[in-house]
Amino acid sequence: MLDKGPHDFNLDFYTPPVIEEMTRSVIEFQRTFASSSQKKIERYAKLLMEARDEDTQDFRVAKPAKLIPPYFVNYESGSWQELNRTIWESAANLDDSSSIMPILACDYVESPDFVIILLKQCLEKFNGCFLWLNNFPEQVVSKEKILGLLEILRSKPNDKLVFNLYGGYLSVILLKKGLNGFSNGVGYSESRNFHDLQAAGGPPPRYYMPKLHRYLSREEAQILINSSPDGFYKCNCIICRKATRNKHVVIDDLDYHDLMKHFVLARYNDINFFANHNLNEIIQDLETTINYFDSTSFAKIANVVSNSRYINLSVSHLVTWAESLRESTN
């Protein structure tokens, strides 16, 4: 009987023949999966097209845009870096390696220097990579870590691509600082800690607060919205307009799917704002929210509520973002 449970393999297991076979098999699976799973994909794709009133005759199975070789987390010290470099070498020697884009996963704790070295080595063999900085939640990460990420992006050659594997609004802003793209969407985390992957699950019902560029609980969002008589925190997307009573959005009127739709519309507006403003204007927009929050009595109310009801309302992440971006432009 085949044991499908988790297993631990030390580095001695990954001999050159094992690495070569592992890399080839993983890439080949991605190349052939779409065509070999045609019937399953076709069934669900056509259901989606029918729901959109689209002509199912136009259906086709799209091939993967990029192929990802096996990867392991890189630590600041240790032999896993060498294993990943050997995998890159093996992947680069495969046919049509131009479609291959590795994931560079790094446990970035102290200095970004080792990430910069690995990024340089990876981009010498490929046109780009996906960057996964482990446990890098944009809302709580330190200024030092953000400045380190900016240093990593500055080290990238202009003709190479780096996509953040996880990200939120800070990653949107970093598109003006050398980042080429990021992964984000409904049900997709803005950060990941690889130690917690086995315990990961679906997101709870939350409201994305556009002015704060972060998720809040329903209760937190309602308290914040109600604190602003001038409607500073009000969202004008179609979903929120339908749930507006007495000039305030009523969060409890939004079901789970409404919350997801609202996020998609809000993130679209985030990206649209980014596209139409320069970096200084984007930083000024962050500072406007910081100043509004600090100038209202709500900052004091939030502290009282936090102590009694475990509500966490803060703009400290916006302060960190703005300070980091200002410092990086000086």
Per-residue pLDDT tens digits for 20-38? 999 999 999 998 876 666 6
| pLDDT of 303 strictly over 60 | no
Res 110: pLDDT: 79
Res 39: pLDDT: 66
290 or 188, higher pLDDT: 290
Q: Tell me the C-alpha to C-alpha distance, in Å, between residue 236 and each of 42, 161, 211.
A: 37, 35, 12
| pLDDT of 310 strictly over 90 | no
| pLDDT of 2 strictly over 60 | no
pTM of the model: 0.87
The C-alpha atoms of residue 130 and residue 166 are separated, in whole angstroms, by 9
Res 55: pLDDT: 73
Reported residue count of the chain is 330
Res 308: pLDDT: 46
The structure tokens listed for 52 are: 């959109």
Contact present, 274 and 213 (Cβ < 8 Å): no
17 or 45, higher pLDDT: 17
Pick the closest to residue 99 from 30, 41, 181, 10 (CA basis). Answer: 30
The pLDDT confidence band at residue 299, using thresholds 50, 70 and 90, is low
The C-alpha atoms of residue 134 and residue 319 are separated, in whole angstroms, by 22
Pick the closest to residue 215 from 282, 148, 253, 168 (CA basis). Answer: 168
Average pLDDT of the chain is 87
Concatenating the DSSP letter of every residue in 163-231 gives EESS--HHHHHHTTTT--EE--BTTB-S---GGGGGG--PPPS-EEETTTTEEE-HHHHHHHHHT-TT-
Res 53: pLDDT: 75
Q: For 210-243, how does the pLDDT look when each residue is reduced to its tens digit (9 = 90+)?
A: 999 999 999 989 988 988 888 899 999 999 999 9
Res 37: pLDDT: 64
